[in-house]
Amino acid sequence: MVYIYYMKINTAFFLSALLLTPAFCAAQLTVVRVDGSKVYIDTSVLNRNVDKGETFKIILSSERLVNPKTGKDLGPLYTYSPEGKIIEVQPMYAVGEMPAGVKASVGQEAVLQPLASPSVASATQEAAKTNDKTVKNTSARKTVVYEPIEQEIVSLSVAAVSAPEADNIITLSRKGQITVWTPSGDKLTSNLSFQLPSGKTPLSVSAYPLRGQKTAEIFTAVYDPSREKISTIVLAARNGQLEQTQMLPYFVKELGCGADKTLWAQKPFAAGHRPASARRLTYENGEFVLSKNTLNTGRNWLTGVNVTDGGLVSTAQNGVIRAELANGKKAESKSLFAAAPNRVKYKQEIVKFYPSVQVFGPSGRQVYAAAENTAKHGLLSDTFGQYQSGKIHFMTVEKGRLNIQDSVELDGFVYDTACSARAVLTAAVLPDGTSSVVEIFKE
């Protein structure tokens, strides 16, 4: 009994320390200096850049919120100051201006709110006032937002599945439902569907045509937590319904856009929680097999990589997107992109499947489309994959850096993206648990 009591004390102490560690509550930053209405905020623990104009609030007090009937601790309840605004940004700290009459003290915590994207008109006006031409908060690209679907979509693809030359969008829901849709205007009509077996956690969906055939088969990667295995279920449209044709012991994902798409496979958990390098998947003698064509993904899962100019683009754990081109040149982005709502627990590790980075355009002038998700406010929200909104950023390589050229702000957050011959697609998961498929045209 003494030993059990000792373990409870140490467990509680560990959890308390964990919750108070800056790396786990990055939204709460410390005030390190006060000079009149100016407050100096330590931003060194953030994994993103702070911009002038961002707003913040000072935490004035907090108390534990407890259910009086069950005694369950519901977390802290905060009292905040009125909003202040960031007026100066330095590498390790930011200076904020507090509203008149509001006082702050050294050691208090501040909650920082990133800038929200303005409308197209206001962004155009703002761009005319600044010399920074590499970042715009919104995009003039043509965008189609389809009516919400009663599903939480974790992955999607585009291919002809229901019939030759059909313009189908294929989605995979959090509950394991695979649906083949036909778009018409701003609506999606369901043609085919398939429910994954219970106990299978859906990871991603791809669609790829067999050699010599005019329709594509569907490849759905799933995780079986009871067996700690990842595999891919292959589906084909037959007799007006989707039927399973094969089970592959690999993690399968499409790379590329439209007719240039290729299908790749990885051996899961080849080195702990990491996969092996990818190999091209081909169709021979009535089944899918691995070819000798390999792709070194740097131990990344295929959702977080793509091919570019004979090289590789990948999402690093610190949020940086890195492009390694065939000519030996390298480029990287700022730290924005490591948010990964899709994740599973493998043994003692949390395995993150980053949203895909789409690449299109002519060699030497390619465009990179990547998703950024904004975490919900509150402790550990990013750690546990709790997000409230997302954006798709379009980037190009300039002077060794992937610079954002324009962005499309979404009404919800993003699990993954896809690419067709004409557009980048994603599904924005809305606050009510539904999803809107969004098609963002390349030109």
Q: Are residues 99 and 218 in the same domain?
A: no
Sequence-separated (6 or more) residues with CB below 8 Å from residue 427: 149, 153, 156, 171, 414, 415, 416, 435, 436, 437, 438
Instruction: Measure the CA angle with vertex 290, ends 286 and 295; round to 5°.
Output: 145
Backbone angles phi, psi at 8, to 5 degrees: -65, -40
User: Of 97, 115, 133, which marks where a domain is finished?
Assistant: 115
- Domain with 75 in it: what CATH number? 2.40.10.410
Q: Are residues 107 and 149 in the same domain?
A: no
Query: What pLDDT score does 115 carry?
Result: 66
Q: Are residues 370 and 256 in the same domain?
A: yes
Q: Which residue, among 2, 1, 50, has the nearest Cα to 27 in the 3D structure?
A: 50
Q: Are residues 324 and 366 in the same domain?
A: yes
CA 124 from centre of chain = 27
Query: What pLDDT score does 95 carry?
Result: 95
Q: Are residues 391 and 290 in the same domain?
A: yes
Q: Are residues 99 and 158 in the same domain?
A: no
Tokens 């965008």 locate to 143
Distance from C-alpha of 56 to C-alpha of 39, rounded to nearest angstrom: 11
Distance from C-alpha of 138 to C-alpha of 117, rounded to nearest angstrom: 7
Q: Are residues 103 and 152 in the same domain?
A: no
Q: Are residues 98 and 166 in the same domain?
A: no
- Once rounded to an integer, what is the mean pLDDT over residues 401-417? 94
**What tens digit of pLDDT does each residue of 64-116 get?**
888 888 877 777 788 889 999 999 988 889 999 998 888 899 999 998 877 65
Q: Is the pLDDT of residue 348 over 80?
A: yes
Q: Is the pLDDT of residue 241 over 50?
A: yes
Query: What pLDDT score does 92 carry?
Result: 84
Contact between residue 336 and residue 48 where contact means Cβ atoms under 8 Å apart = yes
Distance from C-alpha of 442 to C-alpha of 419, rounded to nearest angstrom: 10
**What tens digit of pLDDT does each residue of 196-216 get?**
999 999 999 999 987 667 899
Q: Are residues 109 and 160 in the same domain?
A: no
In a domain, 71, yes or no: yes
Sequence-separated (6 or more) residues with CB below 8 Å from residue 160: 166, 167, 168, 209, 214, 215, 216
- Domain with 330 in it: what CATH number? 2.130.10
Q: Which of 20-24, 38-42, 237-241, 394-398 has the lowest mean pLDDT?
A: 20-24
- Once rounded to an integer, what is the mean pLDDT over residues 16-22? 39
- In the chain, the number of structural domains is 2
Q: Are residues 212 and 359 in the same domain?
A: yes
Q: Which amino acid is at 141?
A: R
Query: What pLDDT score does 76 carry?
Result: 78
Q: Are residues 95 and 169 in the same domain?
A: no
Query: What pLDDT score does 10 carry?
Result: 42
Domain that holds residue 265: 143-441
Distance from C-alpha of 290 to C-alpha of 286, rounded to nearest angstrom: 13
Q: 245-272: buried (b, 16+ CB within 10 Å) or exposed (e) per residue?
A: eeebebbbbbbbbeeebebbbbbbbeee
Q: Are residues 99 and 157 in the same domain?
A: no
- Arithmetic mean of pLDDT over the chain: 85
